[in-house]
């Protein structure tokens, strides 16, 4: 029934298996990829014809994680997989970016590539498996795909590169989390987060990854030799030579003049006029010829711009190849935000804000690994007005999610630890102008806004976008590329980092890969550009502010003994709820006894802190405390004087004079000042009010003379001459018996009725 084809190899200590012919047989290509116990199914389908009037390549990649793969049921009301999560969107982009350039120019058939995670072992990351499965499915499908590609993840631990580490462990145990996709000949895509790696270390990681990708490419070729379908027969011959020659003759000079204008709006207007002139030249041609002419016009523009750069080193706006556009940055741009910055580089501009929150503001993420929480968020918005266009305005698209994550990776490695800075951080980037690398502007503006907010980052971070023009053996690397240079060039290469090293690197290639020489040149040129941008940023703010904004919440952290956690929380949370209600501060406590108290009002924090310390503090004999009467009994009053700790003020310790009833002196809820007289071995506390000035809290001299036991008084009391000698003589009878009895029970108070309550009760 099934014609199953399977290939396997040992790779990074696990078995990688690719299988086809058993599942999804009606798709043009379907591969079940298994690595460890992680299984991903990828199915590819392609339209057999092109829609009328279509002039672009509609490739759509969808990556989906099934919760059942990890033995979990989704959270939420519907209990099923819903719209794409951020991770699913980012992984879809990881698959799309390296495979899209490998389709021939002029191929416009719609293609669907759907990758679904069916099993997840908790160790093997499914994104890499999905990239391999997609490459294999496209290779055997018969569509004109100039692959295959391989993919892998690389870590860097103790100076050595590691293959396919778990994503969380890559940065927890090492300094690098790098994903690379490559053909057998060249690298196609790079995505990374790093802890300040040098250019040499990063380049070495990419080359290590390329060698490992070649092994995967060979495995996919082995599968294709057994199971590939017949390749499609498509006429992609270039028959536009005559049209191109006519266009150059009609508008070639106009296009060249337009690209010498440094202002984006003026350049755009001049190009639109040239395009209208070209359209008019083909007004009498057939509709199909008119459409070809419009597309060929883009090729004419590209040839003019690329030729000027390679031959004369002349860029669109007149800059040198390694020159960065003018930069202006300012902080404290917005009055009520916790931190803000306006960063402008040429015609690219972004407003970045930083908001600080408490643990309650952390982002909850429900994924295959289970629930997790993120204390750092970076959100990127790209409204249509930023490029002077009319367009959709609403929820972020894939591009916005991807650009935001790139900036997140750039800044995340320099953030302080939670112990040093226990805040939730949200950076928001609103792009207001765009003409080249708004994501790197987000890195720079986001860094400045965090510094303005008082986030103690390790070192400032800057970012730069590099471009490439490659014709045969000739190439030129461009620093700080414009939007047009991005569209007409062959590479978008973004690098961000500190003065010490790289924190993120992303590369997308529009041709069949680049060499080690080109990448090394781009990294070195990017390093100089980053240093220049850091210098310009320093003019606005050299280091993080030492004080938080007046509008930001304050968080104070205290550590208590784990045995005291129950006392702070109270039965059913009664005590901690009372602290929050009374003081107005937020209180979070973890299983290790770390308590975070937060509020925008320092007085509220101090009140909550004092309350908690009072609960966990041990009472000290001889020390004076302020307390509150919580209960009155016949023989005295119980006073809460240390949070959850109560003690007894016996009626005899309320005043230096006789007190008939405790209610004559105190009432419930009254604030009193007490001195600790005694703590017995069971923790019961005896307090005194009479030796403390109730107004000032100062200790008073105890003027009450010590009261001796009655049995020891000279003469033995009334009728001492008669009864005393009997006691002295040690004779039997009543007198001898009563003396010792009073001595045992007196405890300095004389009257057994005035015995301290904690002794009476026991």
Per-residue model confidence as pLDDT tens digits over 520-566: 899 999 999 999 999 999 999 988 898 898 888 899 999 998 888 98
Residue 635's H or E segment, with its range, is none
- Is residue 745's pLDDT more than 50? no
Give the CATH superfamily of 327-540: GHMP Kinase, N-terminal domain (3.30.230.70)
Nearest by Cα to 481 from 500, 467, 462, 495 = 467
pLDDT-derived band at 442 (thresholds 50, 70, 90) equals: very high
Cα of 249 vs its chain's centroid, Å: 54
376-400: pLDDT as tens digits:
999 999 999 998 888 888 888 999 9
> Within 13 Å and on the Cβ side, how many CA atoms surround 202?
28
d(CA 278, CA 300): 11
- Is residue 719's pLDDT more than 50? no
pLDDT-derived band at 255 (thresholds 50, 70, 90) equals: confident
458-489: pLDDT as tens digits:
999 999 999 988 887 788 899 999 888 888 88
pLDDT-derived band at 711 (thresholds 50, 70, 90) equals: very low
Quote the pLDDT of residue 391: 84
* Tokens (6 digits) for 79: 């209990």
For 352-356, what is the mean pLDDT? 97
Contact 380, 400 (CB under 8 A): yes
Highest mean predicted confidence (pLDDT) among 92-106, 307-321, 696-710 = 92-106
Quote the pLDDT of residue 710: 44
The class level of CATH for 241-312 reads: mainly alpha
CATH code 3.30.230.70 region(s) in the chain: 5-227, 327-540
Quote the pLDDT of residue 723: 40
d(CA 157, CA 174): 4
Residue 492, annotated as binding a ligand: yes
pLDDT-derived band at 374 (thresholds 50, 70, 90) equals: very high
CATH code 1.10.10.400 region(s) in the chain: 241-312
d(CA 477, CA 321): 7
Q: Is the dihedral of CA 247, 253, 259, 263 positive or negative?
A: negative
Residue 486, annotated as binding a ligand: yes
615-632: pLDDT as tens digits:
888 888 889 988 899 999
For 222-226, what is the mean pLDDT? 96
- Is residue 238's pLDDT more than 60? yes
Quote the pLDDT of residue 369: 86
CATH code 2.40.50.140 region(s) in the chain: 554-688
> Within 13 Å and on the Cβ side, how many CA atoms surround 651?
16
- Is residue 40's pLDDT more than 90? yes
- Average pLDDT of every residue of the chain: 87
For 625-652, what is the mean pLDDT? 88
The architecture of the domain spanning 554-688 is Beta Barrel (2.40)
339-350: pLDDT as tens digits:
999 999 999 999
d(CA 484, CA 513): 21
486-530: pLDDT as tens digits:
888 888 899 999 999 999 999 988 876 577 888 889 999 999 999
The CATH code of domain 5-227 reads: 3.30.230.70
């Amino acid at each position: 029934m099934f014609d199953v084809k399977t290939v396997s190899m040992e790779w990074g200590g696990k078995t990688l298996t690719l299988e086809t012919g058993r599942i999804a047989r009606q798709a043009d290509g379907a591969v079940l990829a298994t690595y460890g116990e992680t299984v991903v199914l990828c199915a590819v389908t392609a339209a057999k014809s092109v829609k009328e009037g279509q002039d672009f390549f509609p490739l759509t990649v969808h990556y989906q994680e099934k919760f059942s793969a990890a033995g979990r049921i989704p959270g939420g009301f519907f209990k099923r997989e819903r719209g794409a999560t951020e991770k699913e969107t980012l992984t879809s982009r990881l698959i799309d970016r390296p495979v899209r350039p490998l389709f021939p120019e002029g191929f416009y058939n719609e293609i669907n590539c759907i990758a679904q995670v069916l099993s997840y072992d908790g160790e093997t990351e499914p994104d890499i498996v999905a990239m391999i499965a997609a490459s294999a499915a496209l290779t055997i499908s018969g569509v004109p795909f100039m692959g295959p590609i391989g993919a892998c993840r690389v870590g860097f631990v103790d100076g050595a590169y590691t293959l396919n580490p778990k994503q969380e462990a890559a940065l927890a145990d090492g300094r690098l989390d790098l994903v690379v996709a490559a053909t057998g000949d060249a690298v196609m895509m790079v995505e990374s987060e790093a802890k300040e790696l040098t250019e040499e270390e990063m380049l070495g990681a990419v080359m290590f990854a390329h060698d490992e990708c070649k092994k995967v490419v060979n495995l996919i070729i082995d599968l294709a030799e057994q199971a590939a379908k017949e390749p499609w027969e498509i006429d992609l011959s270039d028959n536009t030579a005559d049209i191109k020659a006519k266009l150059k003759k009609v508008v070639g000079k106009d296009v060249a003049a337009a690209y010498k204008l440094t202002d984006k709006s003026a350049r755009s207007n001049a190009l639109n006029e040239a395009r209208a002139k070209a359209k008019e030249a083909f007004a009498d041609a057939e509709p199909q010829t008119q459409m070809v002419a419009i597309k060929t016009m883009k090729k004419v523009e590209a040839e003019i711009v690329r030729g000027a750069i390679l031959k004369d080193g002349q860029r669109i706006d007149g800059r040198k190849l390694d020159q960065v556009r003018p930069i202006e940055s300012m902080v404290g741009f917005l009055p009520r935000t916790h931190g803000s910055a306006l960063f402008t580089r040429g015609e690219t501009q972004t407003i970045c804000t930083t908001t600080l929150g408490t643990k309650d503001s952390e982002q909850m993420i429900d994924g295959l690994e289970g629930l997790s929480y993120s204390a750092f968020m970076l959100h990127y918005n790209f409204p249509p007005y930023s490029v002077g266009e009319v367009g959709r305005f609403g929820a972020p698209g894939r591009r916005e999610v991807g650009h935001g994550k790139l900036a997140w990776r750039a800044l995340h490695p320099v953030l302080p630890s939670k112990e040093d800075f226990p805040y939730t951080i949200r950076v928001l980037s609103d792009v207001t102008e765009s003409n080249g690398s708004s994501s790197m502007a987000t890195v720079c503006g986001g860094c400045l806004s965090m510094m303005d907010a008082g986030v103690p980052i390790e070192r400032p971070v800057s970012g730069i976008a590099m471009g490439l023009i490659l014709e045969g053996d000739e190439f030129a690397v461009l620093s700080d590329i414009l939007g047009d240079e991005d569209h007409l060039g062959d590479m978008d290469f973004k690098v961000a980092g500190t003065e010490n090293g790289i924190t993120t690197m992303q590369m997308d290639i529009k041709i069949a890969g680049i060499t080690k020489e080109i990448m090394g040149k781009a990294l070195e040129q990017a390093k100089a550009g980053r240093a220049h941008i850091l210098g310009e940023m320093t003019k606005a703010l050299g280091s993080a502010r030492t004080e938080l904004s007046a509008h930001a919440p304050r968080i104070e952290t205290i550590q208590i003994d784990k045995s005291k956690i129950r006392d702070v929380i109270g039965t059913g949370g009664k005590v901690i709820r009372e602290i929050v209600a009374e003081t107005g501060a937020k209180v979070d406590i973890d299983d290790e006894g770390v308590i975070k108290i937060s509020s925008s009002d320092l007085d509220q924090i101090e009140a909550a802190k004092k309350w908690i310390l009072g609960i966990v503090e041990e009472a000290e004999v001889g020390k004076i405390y302020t307390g509150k009467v919580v209960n009155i009994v016949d023989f005295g009053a119980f006073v809460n004087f240390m949070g959850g700790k109560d003690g007894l003020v016996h009626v005899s310790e309320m005043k230096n004079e006789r007190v008939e009833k405790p209610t004559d002196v105190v009432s419930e809820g009254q604030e009193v000042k007490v001195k600790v007289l005694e703590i017995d071995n069971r923790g019961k506390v005896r307090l005194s009010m009479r030796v403390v000035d109730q107004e000032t809290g100062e200790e008073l001299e105890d003027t009450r003379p010590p009261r001796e036991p009655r049995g020891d008084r000279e003469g033995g009391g009334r009728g001492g001459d008669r009864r005393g000698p009997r006691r002295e003589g040690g004779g039997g009878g009543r007198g001898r018996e009563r003396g010792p009895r009073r001595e045992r029970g007196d405890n300095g108070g004389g009257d057994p009725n005035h015995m301290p309550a904690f002794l009476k009760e026991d």
